[in-house]
Amino acid sequence: MIYDAESLFSDAQAITATAASTNVIDLGTPGTPQHAKGPISQDLGRATAKPWRIQVVESFNNLTSLTVAVQVDDNEAFASPKTVGSIVVPLANLVAGYVIPPEYIPAGTNERYLRLYYTVTGTAPTAGAITAGLVFGNEGWAV
């Protein structure tokens, strides 16, 4: 899988407690085209699917499940984050190599900053790490 270093949320980030991804992606400010009445609203998850990958790179222990949420906000400090999608992954699936769905950025990512937020349910893990970010494409299996 080819990741873009500038578009990584987590680079083998150890998840030992509830936390935000190490990195935040700045989607930029939408501009106002010439002769337009106002700025164009952006939503990275609409129209053409934008591939990303959220992968377990070190198996987890202890916890019951991990919730991975996609959050956006208009400021980098995420003072008022909006969750646009989330998935709960049980411990049984949190093994090295597991790819957490979805494979594409969800609709609703219409604010400037984008991050992932990991919520631990159950006992805090002492092992477990995730790499997540935008990718050039998702793997497909030809038959």
pLDDT in tens, 19-69: 999 999 988 776 666 666 666 556 555 556 678 899 999 999 999 999 999
Longest dimension (CA), the chain: 57
Cβ atoms 45, 84 nearer than 8 A: yes
Taking the model in full, what pTM does it have?
Answer: 0.84
- pLDDT at 26 (0 to 100): 86
Q: Does 37 fall in a domain? A: no
Q: What CATH number corresponds to the domain at position 129?
A: 2.60.120.1110
Domain of 73 in residue numbering reads as 3-28+43-135
38 in any annotated domain: no
Look at residue 116 and tell me if it is in a domain: yes
Cα–Cα distance measured from residue 110 to residue 44, given in angstroms and rounded to the nearest whole number: 7
Number of domains in the chain: 1
Alpha-carbon 121 to chain mean position: 18
- What average pLDDT does the structure give for the chain? 86
58: part of which helix (H) or strand (E)? strand 52-58
